[in-house]
């Protein structure tokens, strides 16, 4: 069961990685850029966002900052499954690099610590291999595509990011914060350079959380 589920997730990552590689090259980046990024960063959502911002004309600083913000969710992941990574410094470094939503979910779904460790490493290694293989194949194939708009691949960046966020929108608080952030981003897009509206959209999260945590007035006796 575990092997079947991990295989399905890894194959899906290979397809998504091929799309990322092809679109990155089609958007004007050299083929080695998405390949090197995938090896060193290994964070699909952040990679899509960063390349999308740069391809739209945004600054590399805005792309890096947006990617860091998106990957901030890995901090609580590390606290939740720190024991799964291992005890040696090397195991923790490698395990942290392989951390993803999927590998964390597989580990936390196991009740036995040994099975949790096996599930985490199996999923992490499989995803790393398949994602990077897909990115390399897509980048090489993308050199023959030319203009990504010819095949509508320019729409893949926002489509991929939307697909990554849809599961989280089931939560009402997250959905409301996302709507406020979307309004802010749409309103500032005509006025600011590419990449900055995405960062300003984080104000939606701060504003909604402040509103949510505001204490209700005590009922009069």
| DSSP-derived 3-state class of residue 185 | helix
Residue 178 lies in a domain: no
Residue 9 lies in a domain: yes
Residue 137 lies in a domain: yes
Residue 105 lies in a domain: yes
Alpha helices in the chain (DSSP H): 2-26, 32-40, 44-55, 60-70, 74-80, 82-85, 89-97, 101-108, 113-142, 156-165, 172-188, 196-200, 202-213
Number of domains into which the chain is organized: 1
Residue 170 lies in a domain: no
User: What domain range includes position 71?
Assistant: 2-151
Residue 212 lies in a domain: no
Q: What is the pLDDT of residue 74?
A: 84
> Rounded CA gap, 102 and 16, in Å?
14
pLDDT tens readout for residues 164-203:
566 667 778 778 888 888 888 888 888 877 667 767 777 7
Would you give the end-to-end CA distance of the chain in angstroms?
A: 58
Residue 181 lies in a domain: no
Residue 214 lies in a domain: no
Band of pLDDT at residue 51, cut at 50, 70 and 90: confident
Long-range contacts formed by 78-84: CB under 8 A, 24+ apart: 80/104, 80/108, 81/107, 81/108, 81/116, 81/120, 83/113, 84/113, 84/116, 84/117, 84/120
Q: Are 124 and 98 in contact (CB under 8 A)?
A: yes
Whole-model pTM over 0.75: no
Residue whose tokens read 């600011």: 192
């Amino acid at each position: 069961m575990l092997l079947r589920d991990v295989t399905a997730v890894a194959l899906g990552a290979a397809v998504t990685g091929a799309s990322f590689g092809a679109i990155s090259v089609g958007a004007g980046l050299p083929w080695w850029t998405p390949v090197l990024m995938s090896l060193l960063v290994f964070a699909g959502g952040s990679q899509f966002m960063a390349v999308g911002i740069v391809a739209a004309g945004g600054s590399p600083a805005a792309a890096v900052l947006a990617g860091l913000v998106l990957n901030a969710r890995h901090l609580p992941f590390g606290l939740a499954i720190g024991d799964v990574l291992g005890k040696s410094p090397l195991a923790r470094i490698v395990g942290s690099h392989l951390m993803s939503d999927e590998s964390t979910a597989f580990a936390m779904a196991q009740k036995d610590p040994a099975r949790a460790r096996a599930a985490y490493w199996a999923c992490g290694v499989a995803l790393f291999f398949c994602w990077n293989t897909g990115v390399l194949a897509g980048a090489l194939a993308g050199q023959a595509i030319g203009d990504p708009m010819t095949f509508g691949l320019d729409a893949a960046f926002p489509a991929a990011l939307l697909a990554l966020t849809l599961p989280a929108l089931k939560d009402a608080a997250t959905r409301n914060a996302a709507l406020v952030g979307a309004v802010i981003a749409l309103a500032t897009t005509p006025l600011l350079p590419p990449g900055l509206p995405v960062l300003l959209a984080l104000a939606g999260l701060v504003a909604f959380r402040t509103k949510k945590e505001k204490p209700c007035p005590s009922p009069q006796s």
